Amino acid sequence: AQKITQTQPGMFVQEKEAVTLDCTYDTSDQSYGLFWYKQPSSGEMIFLIYQGSYDEQNATEGRYSLNFQKARKSANLVISASQLGDSAMYFCAMRERNAGNMLTFGGGTRLMVKP
């Protein structure tokens, strides 16, 4: 079974609108962390936001927020007020103690922002 599933291979969003990128995960660990990374066309991996499994409040970092629904095992990324520079690949990843605290990545979502 996939550990991290991102069901949207590609998405379009109009500039200045909000967009939600989906991520579901599978783990038997009680303590785990969820991350979102952005990969622009230049190729580097840019950390966006983190949510711990015991965090009761959804994480926010500027225009990024994480909609964490633990019972449903989902950790969706919400980008508000999209900008042209947000066009990139977005990866959801999970860190599990049982996996040596290394990251497991989803397949990614390509976001394209339209002017």
- Which chain residues interact with other proteins by CB under 8 A? 4, 6, 31, 33, 35, 43-45, 47, 50, 52, 91, 93, 97, 100-108
CA quadruple 32, 92, 76, 44: dihedral, nearest 10 = 130
Nearer to other proteins (CB atom), residue 93 or residue 113? 93
Shortest CB 4 distance to other proteins, Å: 8
Residue whose CB is less far from other proteins, 45 or 81: 45
- Integer CA distances (angstroms), 24 to 7, 17, 52, 70, 85, in order: 9, 23, 15, 10, 25
Report in angstroms how near the CB of residue 17 gets to other proteins at its nearest: 25
CA distance 93 to 87: 19
51 or 82: CB nearest other proteins: 51
Cβ burial of 11 (10 Å; 0-12, 13-18, 19+) is middle
Which CB sits closer to other proteins, 15 or 29? 29
Torsions phi, psi for 27 (to 5 deg): -155, 155
User: CB 37 → other proteins: shortest distance, Å?
Assistant: 8
Token pair recorded at residue 100: 């040596």
For the bound state, the minimum distance from the C-beta of residue 22 to other proteins, rounded and expressed in Å, comes to: 14
